Amino acid sequence: MVTDRFQRPSRRVGPRGALRALVSLWLWLVAGGLALAAPGFRAELEEDSVAAGEVATLKLIFTDLGNVQPPALPELPNCTSQFAGSGSQIAIVNFERSSSVIHQYVLQPKAPGVIEIPALTIEVDGQRYTSNPLKLRVGQGFDSGQLGFLKLVVPKTEFYVGETVPVEIRFYFKHAPARQNPPKLKLDGFIKGKENTDNLPPETINGEVYSVMRNALALTAAKAGELTLGPAEFETLYVFRSNRRRSIFDDPFFGGGEQKQINFSSEPVTIRVVPPPSVNQPSGFAGAVGRFSLDPVLASPTNVAVGDPITVRLTVRGRGNFSGLKLPEPPAGSGFQAYPGTNSFEEADALGLEGVKTFETVLVPEQAGVQRLRLPPFIAWNPETKRYDTLEPRPISVNVRPGVAAQAQPAGNVPVAATPEQAAPRSGPVTEVVPLKTELGPLVAFSPALVQRPWFLAVMLAAPLLWTGLRIGDRLRERARQRGPDLRGQRERLVNEAVAQLAVEAQVGRSPEFFAALNRALQEQLALTLGGSAGAFTEDVVATRLEPRGLPVAEAERLRALFEALAQARYSPVTSRSALDALTESARQAIAALKNLEAGR
């Protein structure tokens, strides 16, 4: 038989070959079904090699063994483990159905090496099942010190119970993370108050310049003893440039790159907390610790009748734990009845350590006469002078008149002796009822109300119409001034001055002034090119307004890079002279491109 040279000759399968194929298929189906149907227990690692500081996931898979509870892992050397949750899986292969229960554990190695996970044995319905052993290889982890470090700053190491102290968690970093969670601080015996996050000026440590982010919080010592504060922990996400980049979009500039979660931790601090001394402690001490002063007491009114309310206001200023200050009540037998009062606090700083606390209460006098009320003092322990401060309120003098109830006469007919004048008969007729009028008098015509008169409506509308006209005139004059040549010339001068300032600030290395001039130059030039107000332009204007008008791609990327540098300068500004010089040249080229775009419109 002659075949085309590009056609493969057909192969005939004999009876023996067909029988052999059928037997192989039958054995494969039977073996697969038996293997799938057999109950079992096995262990798997999602990744068998990680770096120190990273985590690995261990799965314990129980097939056709029912709802097996998660077993406890043995203690692994140089590694911590934590149960991460359970799940289930159903599979159908060769018409055989199997169900699996999967328990997951998170393993976190502490140092490089090999971690051996031994075989685990469980017992289900009297049958013992054993998993396979595993090995987890741990390599050298990423040195987070290359990026920054975390520090716990405490003003002192000895507190008093009830004392409120500011504590800072400072993050020193060379490169800012892409994302981060708020710092966490382990507290034992402390109560956390308000928090505040801000940026501090850069610091130079061992010849390296670090940007500093500060998370300040107020802590109040709640119990005495040797307490451990911290460590502080800070979870961040960094994006690194990938070495296996296949396209330009793998670059971190476009949101690509390799993401890595890096956790920073500080050293803990040991704090000695002691209670305020009990020796010579005043009886009215309620736990207030701090430095306080008391304003003069205000009471109003001070001339009342028995039973009338008097409002008393006490104002305490200072720094410390204001929650320990309680409103003093009048002593028993003072002649005043006190009602529950209110208090308010006005903060003077971001953490609420300093401020003004105002107490108000209502007192009701119970006795007539000139009453003098002396309220009990405020007692506070001053940690600076190490003594108790007694804040004595000024005595209150109130003139109390007899009340209505004291002047009332008894009801009913009480026999009273008549005086001679009352007993003497009256001469002449006595008229006790005035006669009714039979004439109402002349009628008077009433004029219409003012709102019904036409001139009243005109007077009422004159002022709003005049004000509206003046506002419209101001707007028109302002718009004409903005369109005039004076504003354009002023903006051009601002752009030229800002560009010239860039070179000066770059030469002396003043980073904040440099980026302020860069932002001013870009905003004023964009206002000249696109119109509108300077200061309202963001990176989005490149794609929405400049590129559609013909801005070249290279210049658009240059302008985006300048906007990104301005955004990064808020938390990690560039300080080297070479980098500032490069930004200066890039800004000049971008502004020149915007001017060309403006000239061609």
Encode pLDDT of 568-578 as tens digits.
Answer: 877 667 778 88
- Does residue 149 sit in the same domain as residue 267? yes
- Per the DSSP assignment, residues forming a β-bridge with 114 are 137
- Does residue 299 sit in the same domain as residue 341? yes
Domain that holds residue 364: 293-402
- Does residue 160 sit in the same domain as residue 47? no
Query: Other C-beta atoms within 10 Å of 177: how many?
Result: 22
Determine the Cα–Cα distance for residues 101 and 68; give it in Å rounded to an integer.
7
- Does residue 557 sit in the same domain as residue 582? yes
- Does residue 40 sit in the same domain as residue 128? yes
- Does residue 167 sit in the same domain as residue 258? yes
Question: Quick one: CA torsion of 122, 124, 129, 132, rounded to 10 degrees?
Answer: -50
- Please compute Rg for the chain using Cα positions: 43
Contact call for residues 378 and 325 (beta carbons, < 8 A): yes
- Does residue 253 sit in the same domain as residue 152? yes
Residue where a domain stops, chosen among 274, 305, 323: 274
Whole-number pLDDT of residue 447: 62
Whole-number pLDDT of residue 440: 56
Whole-number pLDDT of residue 173: 93
- Does residue 97 sit in the same domain as residue 62? yes
The position carrying tokens 């003046």 is 470
Contact call for residues 169 and 266 (beta carbons, < 8 A): yes
Contact call for residues 499 and 591 (beta carbons, < 8 A): yes
Determine the Cα–Cα distance for residues 138 and 77; give it in Å rounded to an integer.
12
Residue where a domain stops, chosen among 208, 243, 274: 274
**Per the structure block, which two tokens stand in for 599?**
């000239």
- Does residue 159 sit in the same domain as residue 175? yes
The answer to the question of residue 547 being in a domain is yes
Q: Is 13 helix (H, G, I), strand (E, B) or coil?
A: coil
Q: Tell me the CB-side half-sphere exposure of residue 57, using CA atoms within 13 A.
A: 9
| pLDDT mean by block of 10 residues, the chain; 601 residues | 39 60 59 57 87 83 88 88 88 77 89 89 88 87 78 93 94 91 92 93 91 94 92 89 49 61 91 92 89 91 91 93 84 84 90 92 89 87 93 88 58 45 49 56 61 76 88 77 66 88 85 88 88 81 87 89 83 77 89 81 53
The answer to the question of residue 56 being in a domain is yes
The answer to the question of residue 240 being in a domain is yes
Q: Is 186 helix (H, G, I), strand (E, B) or coil?
A: coil
- Does residue 300 sit in the same domain as residue 374? yes
Residue where a domain stops, chosen among 90, 115, 139: 139
| Domain CATH code at residue 148 | 2.60.40.10
- Per the DSSP assignment, residues forming a β-bridge with 159 are 273
Q: What share of the chain is helix, strand, coil (3-state, %, to 5)?
A: 30, 35, 35
| Domain CATH code at residue 352 | 2.60.40.740
Residues 6+ positions from 432 with CB-CB distance below 8 Å: none
Of 340, 123, 146, 420, nearest to 260 by C-alpha is 146
Determine the Cα–Cα distance for residues 285 and 391; give it in Å rounded to an integer.
11
Contact call for residues 205 and 228 (beta carbons, < 8 A): no
- Does residue 149 sit in the same domain as residue 99? no
Whole-number pLDDT of residue 4: 39
Number of folded domains in the chain?
Answer: 4
The answer to the question of residue 476 being in a domain is no
- Does residue 188 sit in the same domain as residue 134? no
